[in-house]
Structure 1
Amino acid sequence: MQSDLSAAPRTETFVLVVKWAASLVQIAGYAATAFGETPWNLYFFVLGVIGWFVVGVMWKDRAIMLIHLVALAAMIAGMSNG
């Protein structure tokens, strides 16, 4: 049986990977927007927002979860109207 201490470093590593991957994907979304790459910019933003929402869940940070849930809803609404 594994102790909780051995799971902590793996969880921290997972969160580290997800938050940096989500950040890089969102930066790609900004770059795609700058170069007029629609709808790719939105796809990048959606992936980045989902990644940061996962980080908020892992950290139990409701503020991060809320802002990214609202952003995701706004993007989905915008994409469905476009």
Structure 2
Amino acid sequence: MQTSLPRNVNFTHAVKWTASVAQIFGYAFTAFDMAPWNIYLFLIGLVGWFSVGVMWNDRAIMLIHLVALGSMIAGLLSR
């Protein structure tokens, strides 16, 4: 008999994998100089992982993604 996971676990799982794939594609798009699509993908990944940090109440995950977002914004404003 298979037991199903709670609904919030399935949602969190989907968000973290979607965010991870978006960030991986963001790295690939950066390598091939495909701006601004790389930035959009990184933003999807950052928001997704920040959301996972909130759902897990994990301040380390939230902090690292807020710092990454701040760095991206600073980089974009310096252009």
Q: Report sequence identity in percent.
A: 61
Matched letter for residue 67 of structure 1 = I
Q: In structure 2, what is the Cα distance between the partners aligned to 1:78 and 1:29?
A: 16
Q: 1:55 corresponds to which residue?
A: 52
Aligned length: 75
Q: In structure 2, what is the Cα distance between the partners aligned to 1:21 and 1:12?
A: 14
1:13 paired with 2:13, answer: no
* Over 4 Å off, 4+ runs: none
1:67 paired with 2:64, answer: yes
Q: In structure 1, what is the Cα distance between the partners aligned to 2:70 and 2:44?
A: 13
Scaled by the length of structure 2, the TM-score of the pair is 0.89
Q: 1:44 corresponds to which residue?
A: 41
More moved, 17-26 vs 70-79: 70-79
After TM superposition, give the deviation of residue 80 of structure 1 in Å: 2.1
Scaled by the length of structure 1, the TM-score of the pair is 0.86
Structure with the bigger percentage of helix:
1
> Can you give the 5+ residue segments of structure 2 that lack an aligned partner in the other structure?
none
Indicate the SS of the match to 2:10: helix
